[in-house]
Structure 1
Amino acid sequence: MTRKSLVLPAVAGLLISTLAACGGTDGSGSDGKTIVLGSTDRIEATKVAPAPLDPALAYDFASWSVLHNTFQTLMRLPRSGTEPIPDAAERCGFADRQSEQYRCTLRSGLKFSNGHDLTSEDVKFSLDRVLRIDDPNGTKSLLSNVDRIETPSAREIVIHLSQPDATFPSKLTTPAAAILDSEVYRGDALRKGWEMTGSGPYSAQTEVKNNRLTKVVFTKNPHYKGDLKPKADKAEMRFYDSTSTMEQALAKGDIDVVHRGFSPEQIDKLNKGEVEGVRLFESSGQGIRYLIFNTNAPVVKEKAVRQAIAHLVDRQALVRDVYKRTAEPLYSLIPTSITSHINSFHNEYGDPDPDAARSVLHDAGISTPVKLTLTYTTDHYGPETAAEFKELRKQLNDSGLFDITIKGYPWREYRPALIKRQFSASGVGWFPDFPDPDSYTAPFLTKDNWLNSPYRNSAIQDELIPQTRQEAQRSLAEKDFQSIQNTVAEDVPYLPLWQGNTYVAARKNVIGAEYAFDSSTMLQLWELGKS
């Protein structure tokens, strides 16, 4: 998941209010009761992604923020914490010690927002549908180990896995496992357009202009049966073209909450109390940024080239000069807020060292300067991305060992080109599907990895990842995860750069902002209300 784009504060409840500005007018949103959120995310229908709000396709933070509040899943993450709890299910659990057979019993009387009954057949339909559609940009990888599904009764589901997977309950908390109405959705094709039919705490109506989502209006779902108790009967999510326009809307009270999109400079302004009547909440984030290398591309096929870049990149300069310390240097695909993290890249390469990089290239017989194009997306991860890549270009070119050019693409072109392996080295962001080290390793290193990376390591793919998934007590998998991190640092198919902090800006009359995100950084709209 471009999603999937940055000591646990994997727990959203640990968000800390860093500013409580007084004075100014209370933000009234649209009618004084409706909670209005602002974001600069882009959700648009394109030729390769014609159904951006279909759970079989949607695999990015922005779309999941909408789906997570509209659809139910068998399991969900709690208000704060990492252990999945029942959602549409009344109870769930493995029926065997090998973690290969997962059984659930649904709550009684479940209905979709249109009034249709929700049964075990809808659950089976929804999971089978993701596997059947198998969209190359979609969410199949999260359910790829589902072998078959049985429905002994209208409320019972038995999911048989092809391999043991102790993380499967966590995967069932994601929108990939959203339960769909089998009378509305087709089982073999995406639902194009913008309509959604779920059983979550909210139903949603969308407004679209030029194939781009401009607003989502969430209304409390009268048919919802579950433990969540929305604090607001109505909420809106508005999408802005610029961060400055969004900031003005927050200052005026036209919107109540900003959960995505502010620049480091704006975060600093909020932190200093320069936006009157607004509080800022901060926590350690789980989103990471990294470079992906196409290990089949001639210019970076030699491991020595990738290792030389690892010797040269100055993460401290990136987070200091570009991100104004709203991020932290990252030396592994697994961030510091997740168990099993080790600083594998720093252990392997230390601080930036041009002499070490030169030696690596010389020993491999590689002529310098190495010509390489770094690519990035211009409109998906924020306005600082271009500055970040200018800084990377400067760092590599200043060594005299590389001749770097950079090139940006809009996301609608960038994502398909990544999948087709058209770039040699590219910048990508990632938010976890669920708060577990598996969500920072398997999506990158298995055969069906989400970026279609050609990198293969048989020990990781065939031994280490399967071994980690057999450990229901996740701390017992720590040694294997550390081996994975060390191998990635040695081979450098990916180069981790930084992990971002999480910020929520809210008008002073908003309650629940400290719980706006769960432990996988998914938006919990039901937690937001007005005092």
Structure 2
Amino acid sequence: MNRKTLVLPAVVGLLAPVLAACGATDSGNSGGKAIVVGVTDTFVSGKDAPAPFDPAYTYDSGAWNILRPALQSLLQIPRGGGQPVPDAATDCRFTDTENESYRCKLRSGLEFSNGDKLTASDVKYSLDRVSRIHDSNGPAGLFDNIDTIETVSGTELVFHLKTPDATFPYKLATPAAGIVEKGTYAPNRLRKGFAVDGSGPYTLKTVVKNDRLEKAVFTKNPRYKGVLQLQNDKVEIRSFTDAAAMGKALKSGEIDMMTRTLSPSQIKELSAGSTQNINFIESPGLGIRYLGFNTDDPSVKNKAVRQAMSALVDRGQIASEVYGATAEPLYSLIPSGMAGHTNSFFDKYGNPSKTEAAKILHNAGINDKVRLTLHYTNDHYGPETAKEFALLKQQLNASGLFDVKIQGTPWATFRPAELHGDYAVYGLGWFPDFPDSDNFIAPFLGKGNFLNTPYANNAIRTKYIPDSRRAADRTAATAPFQKIQDIVADDVPVLPLWQGKQYVAARDDLTGAEWALSSSSALQIWELGRGVS
């Protein structure tokens, strides 16, 4: 298996991803046969998750990978990253110097996949619907800065923002801004189940068993008008119960590609280059893992408890013993490679220290063991999560300062319970909506944040986040981002743990696999085709 290095175009504020790949790179097509992609994401529909694929409800990277091919947005992030480019639109731009008025003009002749006409009023309806429903699980917070949406004509609309926001184009490029039809998506209630209809490059049909998605089958939409160039006619995303089953299917040829999430042992085997007929692609990732806190819960309300945990947690041990070369310690909400990244937690707490943690607790008048339960999801991020939390428990209890228990819960129950405030401490992962440092700050700390955390810092919300959004040149937002990271390290509403890489393994007759994942971990199935090994 030959190895090569491919350098993708740099994303603003990011290090250029470097991918190690093997095999063919010529573009091709699917030749009429569906390209099958394996994932370990679990999609269920039920009482706790009634509308897993409604853009007003879902705010999860795995579900967005299902929405993205079927729902079209005004803008699209290019495959190599950078500024969003028009998709349903032909032109979008700020029309004022303050970045408060954003005007878009639609392509002519846009249609939904059923042939119905798509106009500016559909775009307004779709975004108003997300904000109107404002589901606690959903992405409405991305659009809380919209004051009004004005439809100038059937093909033109203007977004009037409450405050300047240079990141607004990125938000319009997310599946949360996917354009839906009035007759299919009700204005005030969620669309239950797994159906998705829009004007995207593919139409979607799903195979469901016992309220769990088994397959998502995407077929080329002949009515699509946009910027994407499809390299195939049909793609099937298949959900596996674990990485081992997914890996077996790849080796047997049952599937053509697998990603999200490979196990550390699979990554080690594939990176050795000994697996025949399979290409292995590694790239820098922006996905992070962290502990979140319900800062109103009595057990962690005193920030000294959260600070003591920050002084005890050994990120290096977690990365090396649980995840190996696939992860590296993270000392800020903003990951390495993003403009404005600092190591604020390391600067404040240094290396893990029982002495420092004991001092913090003693100075706060806390002399008894702190009793906590750390909650995690046992079916969303892979089996290593349980090992990670067992190690966290061991690290904290070994200090003699904590009495920690751990509890794993399925995602469909875990996420609603976290939002409801049932957990004092919980573990989550974050894959960014778009590649900008703002998306590692506002979703956690802004008003209406996706954690539904009671923590609110006035300086962050009213000064530093607004200041960062004024800068059209995103590198100029570094100063307020650094201020925010220092505040987070002191108050510890969240405790960052590690940053991961991202991986794709594909049969060697598949082309475009090097573009299958964006820098923000978005699955770009339209890039995949069949070529010559």
Q: Distance in 2 between matches of 1:464 and 1:12?
A: 24
Q: Distance in 1 between matches of 2:21 and 2:194?
A: 37
**C-alpha deviations, 1:93-113, integer Å up to 9, x for none?**
111111111100001111111
Aligned residue for 1:358?
A: 358
Q: Which amino acid aligns with 1:353?
A: S
Q: Runs of 5+ in structure 2 lacking a partner?
A: 1-9
Mapped pair 1:139 → 2:159: no
Q: What SS does structure 2 have at the residue aligned with 1:69?
A: helix
User: TM-score of the superposition, structure 1-length normalised?
Assistant: 0.95
Shift of 1:16: 1.3
Q: Which amino acid aligns with 2:434?
A: F
Mapped pair 1:47 → 2:47: yes
Q: Runs of 5+ in structure 1 lacking a partner?
A: 1-6, 22-28
Q: Distance in 1 between matches of 2:331 and 2:20?
A: 28
**C-alpha deviations, 1:464-486, integer Å up to 9, x for none?**
11111111111111100000000
Equivalences for residues 42-121 of structure 1 within 5 A: 42-121=42-121
Shift of 1:33: 3.2
Mapped pair 1:437 → 2:440: no
Aligned residue for 2:148?
A: 148
Q: Distance in 2 between matches of 1:103 and 1:243?
A: 44
Q: What SS does structure 2 have at the residue aligned with 1:193?
A: coil
Aligned residue for 2:382?
A: 382
Shift of 1:298: 1.0
Aligned residue for 1:286?
A: 286
Q: Distance in 2 between matches of 1:149 and 1:319?
A: 45
Q: Which amino acid aligns with 2:496?
A: P
Aligned residue for 1:14?
A: 17
Shift of 1:62: 1.1
Shift of 1:68: 0.8
Shift of 1:238: 0.7
Q: CA 1:101–1:30 in 2, change beyond 3 Å: closer, same or farther?
A: closer
Q: What SS does structure 2 have at the residue aligned with 1:347?
A: helix
**C-alpha deviations, 1:256-279, integer Å up to 9, x for none?**
010212111111111123432111
CA contact (8 A) 2:55 2:175 kept: yes
Q: Distance in 2 between matches of 1:31 and 1:205?
A: 20
Q: Distance in 2 between matches of 1:11 and 1:254?
A: 35
User: TM-score of the superposition, structure 2-length normalised?
Assistant: 0.94
**C-alpha deviations, 1:329-372, integer Å up to 9, x for none?**
10000000211101111111111111111111111110232111
Aligned residue pair count:
518
Shift of 1:169: 0.4
Q: Distance in 2 between matches of 1:485 and 1:241?
A: 37
Shift of 1:190: 1.1
CA contact (8 A) 2:282 2:503 kept: yes
**C-alpha deviations, 1:169-199, integer Å up to 9, x for none?**
0000101100112232211111112221111
Q: CA 1:11–1:505 in 2, change beyond 3 Å: closer, same or farther?
A: farther
Q: CA 1:258–1:291 in 2, change beyond 3 Å: closer, same or farther?
A: same
The CA RMSD measured in Å over matched residues stands at: 1.8
Aligned residue for 1:469?
A: 469
Q: Which amino acid aligns with 2:338?
A: I
CA contact (8 A) 1:253 1:507 kept: yes
Shift of 1:20: 5.5
Q: What SS does structure 1 have at the residue aligned with 2:316?
A: helix
Q: Which amino acid aligns with 1:422?
A: D
Aligned residue for 1:122?
A: 122
**C-alpha deviations, 1:477-514, integer Å up to 9, x for none?**
11000000000001111100001100001111111111
Q: Which amino acid aligns with 1:93?
A: R
Q: What SS does structure 1 have at the residue aligned with 2:92?
A: strand
Q: Which amino acid aligns with 2:262?
A: F
Q: Which amino acid aligns with 2:301?
A: K
Q: Distance in 2 between matches of 1:97 and 1:131?
A: 26
Shift of 1:13: 8.0
Q: Which amino acid aligns with 1:142?
A: L
Q: Which amino acid aligns with 1:384?
A: E
Equivalences for residues 263-278 of structure 1 within 5 A: 263-278=263-278
CA contact (8 A) 2:84 2:170 kept: yes
Aligned residue for 2:508?
A: 508
Shift of 1:409: 0.8
% identical equivalent positions? 53
Q: Which amino acid aligns with 1:325?
A: A
Aligned residue for 2:238?
A: 238
Q: Which amino acid aligns with 2:189?
A: A
CA contact (8 A) 1:303 1:491 kept: yes
Q: Distance in 2 between matches of 1:46 and 1:473?
A: 44
Q: CA 1:368–1:325 in 2, change beyond 3 Å: closer, same or farther?
A: farther
Q: Which amino acid aligns with 2:530?
A: K
Q: Distance in 1 between matches of 2:77 and 2:440?
A: 18
Q: Distance in 2 between matches of 1:457 and 1:180?
A: 35
Q: Which amino acid aligns with 2:318?
A: L
CA contact (8 A) 1:11 1:80 kept: no
Q: What SS does structure 2 have at the residue aligned with 1:304?
A: helix
Aligned residue for 1:189?
A: 189
Aligned residue for 2:335?
A: 335
Q: Which amino acid aligns with 1:420?
A: H
Q: Distance in 2 between matches of 1:394 and 1:498?
A: 17
Q: What SS does structure 2 have at the residue aligned with 1:324?
A: helix
**C-alpha deviations, 1:274-326, integer Å up to 9, x for none?**
43211110011110000011111111111111111111111110010000121
Shift of 1:519: 3.0
CA contact (8 A) 1:33 1:530 kept: no
CA contact (8 A) 2:141 2:447 kept: no
Q: Distance in 1 between matches of 2:68 and 2:231?
A: 16
